[in-house]
Amino acid sequence: MRIAEALAFSKRLEDISDSPRLDTEIFLCHALEKPSSYLMTWPEKELTSAQIERFTACLQRRQNGEPVAYILGTQAFWTLDLEVTTDTLIPRADTEVLVEVALNLFPENTPLRIADLGTGTGAIALALASERPAWEVWGCDRIDAAVDLAKRNQARLGLPDVNFVQGSWLAPLGGRFDMIVSNPPYIDQHDEHLKQGDVRFEPLSALVAAENGLSDIMHIINTAPDYLLKGGWLLFEHGYQQAAAVRKLFCDSGYEQVNTYQDYAGNDRVSLGCWNRL
């Protein structure tokens, strides 16, 4: 099989993927251990039998609906290349907005103490630590396997120390923080979105929350005042139709400077509030 022939297998992914050609190129690069420019430069190159085997195994898994990130075991987020497993959500580009907002809340050189709740792969905590090496960053997750994964990601990226700990939301943390961030589960269990595409392979515990998807956000808003310094910020990623509800929860609990930011598609995606009391 030549490279040009292998690329034609993208037809098989047309029913399952929004990007069949790209997925096929990614699998081929993975099988060949070459960059994508190689595929365009050497279309006549013959694959070895080991390369064909690796390529078709990836293609078959994708045909069965598995997300590309789980097949490759990695996902790009921010400037980082993260290991991912089915124990956690696959980091999304939309979540980079949360990282951007968090980085812009304080002057660059202020040493801060911050926490990422439900850290999963460690994506948000590690992105922040990579940009602000002087920050004391904590990441927690209820799932042991996620904490192990986040620690592996930190080690493989050689990033400054992040304290990854096991426990539910704020429970494993002590002391007060300048900023608490979270991409918690926020989808309603009956949402049609859960029945389609990549999301079907992700852990429901990372996606679904009670009370129209707001129960975990509500819990964190209520408990965070015991963990925030005066003037500390709480930031969430949430569903694109949840901004008004999340802002109301913030305001009703006494947070100030409550605001919402949009993701790269222009949807409301991140809301935040400042705790100005002690």
State yes or no: residue 186 binds ligand GLN (CB under 6 A): yes
Contact yes or no for 130/184 (Cβ under 8 A): no
CB of 118 to ligand GLN, least distance (A): 8
Judged by CB under 6 A, does residue 91 bind ligand GLN?
no
Decide: is 272 part of the binding site for ligand GLN (CB under 6 A).
Answer: no
The residue at minimum Cβ distance from ligand GLN is 207
The amino acid sitting at 89 is L
CB of 183 to ligand GLN, least distance (A): 5
Q: Is 185 an interacting residue with respect to ligand GLN (CB under 6 A)?
A: yes
Q: How far apart are the first and last CA of the chain?
A: 67
Burial class (CB in 10 A: 0-12, 13-18, 19+), 252: exposed
* Residue 122 marked ligand-binding: yes
**Number of residues lying near ligand GLN (CB under 6 A):** 9
Residue 179 contacts ligand GLN per CB under 6 A: no
Minimum CB distance to ligand GLN smaller for 50 or for 190: 190
Interface residue with ligand GLN among 51, 130, 183, 242 (CB under 6 A) is 183
β-strand pairing of 74-77 with 80-83: antiparallel
Report residue 87 as tokens.
Answer: 């124990």
Separation between Cα atoms, residue 130 and residue 124, nearest integer Å:
10
Which is nearer to ligand GLN, 55 or 236 (by Cβ)? 236
What CA–CA distance (Å, rounded) separates 45 from 57? 20
Separation CA 67–CA 85 (nearest Å): 11
- Binding residue ranges for substrate: 183-186
Interface residue list for ligand GLN (CB under 6 A) = 89, 92, 183, 185-187, 193, 199, 207
